[in-house]
Amino acid sequence: MNNCDSAAGGGLPPAAAVDLADLVQVAAGAVVSRTLAKNDAGTITLFAFDAGQGLSEHSAPFDALVHVLDGQVELTIGGTAVPASAGQAVLMPANVPHALKAISPFKMILTMLRGK
């Protein structure tokens, strides 16, 4: 039984090793996303950002973990700049305003866990 619903073919194949960075591609001047898993407990989404692209400031009612797969990004969390590059992870706490801007083309996996 699979506990993860995936968007239109966007999920991961079961029992297979995959290179996450290969599952989403940077597009010129754009932000691309691919949902890998989504259920009542949370979501796992891959993103690819072209240099200079970003997400405007917002907050969420649950913690989110950014894991940078490739490239460089600057996150702003609660007004503090947090640079991150490939291999690094950053926790964005619930209810704290955050934003991000791609310093170079970059890819990340975003894991959001919903509390009860």
- What tokens were used for 31? 């932000």
Cα(55)–Cα(7) distance, integer angstroms: 21
- Nearest in space to 27 (alpha carbons), one of 52, 62, 59: 52
Q: pLDDT band for position 116 (50/70/90)?
A: low
Q: Which CATH entry fits the domain spanning 31-113: 3.40.50.800, 2.60.120.10, 2.40.40.20, 2.10.109.10?
A: 2.60.120.10
* Comparison of pLDDT for 51 and 3, the residue scoring more: 51
71 Cβ contact list (under 8 Å, min separation 6): 49, 85, 86, 102, 103, 104, 105, 106, 107
Cβ–Cβ < 8 Å for 14, 28: no
Query: In which residue are the tokens 């259920």 written?
Result: 39
Cα(4)–Cα(19) distance, integer angstroms: 19
> For the chain, what are the domain ranges?
31-113
Q: What is the mean pLDDT of residues 50-67?
A: 96
Query: Structure pTM?
Result: 0.86
